[in-house]
Amino acid sequence: MKVIIAGAGVGGLAVARLLAEGGVNCTVLEKSADAESMRYAWHDDVSPEVFNECGLDLPQGSFPKKDWTFITPDGKARGMHEERPDMSVMRPALNKMMADAAERAGAKLMFGVTVQSPIIRDRRIEGVQANGREMRADMVIDSLGVNSPLKANLPENINITRHREDEVFTVFRAFYKKNFSAPEAKYTNKVYMKHLGEPGISWAIQDGEEVDVLIGRVGKMSRPTLENALKHMKDENPTIGDEIVTGGGIYTIPVRFPAPRMVADGYALIGDCAYMTIPMLGSGIASSLRAANMLSDVILNAVRAGADEKKATSLSNLWNYQTLFFNKYADHCGVDVMKRGVLGLKDSTLSLILASKVLNNKQICDLAKGRLLRPTFGEMVKMAAGAGIRALSLLPMAFIMKRAQKAAKLAASIPQKYEEESAARWARKLEKMVTGE
């Protein structure tokens, strides 16, 4: 069997390693010049259990995530403390480690190759057009990110989920040289919720001799919006110096629930193009690594059971990969409902919920990890009483959480075997439940 992995994302490299270990002929096509220049020059927070689960070492330079302090829209601070923090993993080290592991397993990595479009015959993907030439395979795994040209160039009769403009974050992220002449920050890791009343977040995190600055907005972010937000962040955090050490680019990150249609004949999405990030945070390393295990198992198990290349990479077999992912990550659909609901709250309501400590430390930590909260209405009434606020003020949040729980339940009801009518019906219901449209 021959498989092309388009894009050297974390999920793509992980599945390349696993398939190659199983005897599959794997080729990874990556537009970057080499392994060192792949992806983002920053770190992301990941549970260390994921690396143990996937048989991987923690990348070099990883360190425990620091506690955050949330800043409400009205400027109040709410701290949190995690007993078992995630690890902050350096992305360049992670990608280099994953690339090396894939090559050791026998996968071929081709750098400087730009994938443009799929090769399709009878609704089956049979390869890609890359650098102006055809490259054929039994299957293509799309790891090209949220704006994958492969996905964009699929015809409508191949049912693969696309995103809307308001389902991505436009993000500026840079590590600034720290201004040591400024007074030390009272809170060293500040996350601004609905910063300046706008739909998104910003943060300033003290990283030794640097300050990690992020400005993120749902959908598009204009230059004036970015400049105004940066000015406010520097005014609020004088430790942010003028010199950018690394980063400084503008990136697009998915912040929506997983794609209800992520497979077709000879084709599967993984990572950002399948929206495998936590909708509240935009972090997708853990889910992409687990997805690689799921996808490789589905393909290799079919081959071991005697399936030929076409059957092993058919839509009906690859649907098992999709069901495994939704069985594990159904809660991401509920988290997306929470994200949409929180961004739609009045600034005063969000500030009240965070600053009044109606949510306890564990619940705040769960939010920070992108987990679904499941309090009943009765529990929320008690929470309001304990925080000394009127229960009616929590009604908007109560409705959001109720809808979020319904969305997660619906996501978990994915048809376990592929049949087009039931799959399409489930996908339509899920889209409507999460988006409200």
Place of tokens 């077999």: 317
- Residue-wise pLDDT for 233-243, tens only, equals 999 999 999 99
Place of tokens 């936590």: 278
Q: How does DSSP assign 150-166, residue by residue?
A: HHHTS-TTS------GG
CATH of 166-254, one of 3.40.47.10, 3.40.50.1580, 3.30.450.40, 3.30.9.10: 3.30.9.10
**Low pLDDT (below 50) residues in the chain:** none
CA distance 325 to 238: 43
Q: What is the pLDDT of residue 83?
A: 87
Give me 238's structure tokens.
Answer: 């004088």
Q: What is the pLDDT of residue 16?
A: 98
- Which residues of the chain does CATH 3.30.9.10 include? 166-254
Alpha helices in 305-376 (DSSP H): 309-312, 315-329, 331-344, 347-355, 361-368
Distances from the Cα of 209 to the Cα of 201, 219, 348, angstroms: 23, 32, 35
Q: How far apart are the first and last CA of the chain?
A: 42
Q: What is the pLDDT of residue 39?
A: 62
Q: Which one, of 283, 294, 284, lies nearest residue 322 by Cα?
A: 294
Distances from the Cα of 247 to the Cα of 2, 101, 155, 173, 250, angstroms: 36, 26, 36, 6, 9
Distances from the Cα of 406 to the Cα of 18, 67, 276, 331, 409, angstroms: 35, 31, 20, 10, 5
Read off the amino acid at residue 386: G
Give me 60's structure tokens.
Answer: 């070099």
- Which residues of the chain does CATH 3.50.50.60 include? 2-65+88-163+259-329
- 83 contact partners, CB below 8 Å, separation of at least 6: none
Q: What is the pLDDT of residue 94?
A: 92
Distances from the Cα of 83 to the Cα of 44, 90, 135, 304, 362, angstroms: 19, 22, 49, 43, 10
Q: Is beta strand 189-193 parallel, antiparallel or unpaired with respect to 115-121?
A: unpaired
Q: What is the pLDDT of residue 9?
A: 92
Provide the CATH topology of domain 2-65+88-163+259-329.
Answer: FAD/NAD(P)-binding domain (3.50.50)
CA distance 141 to 160: 13
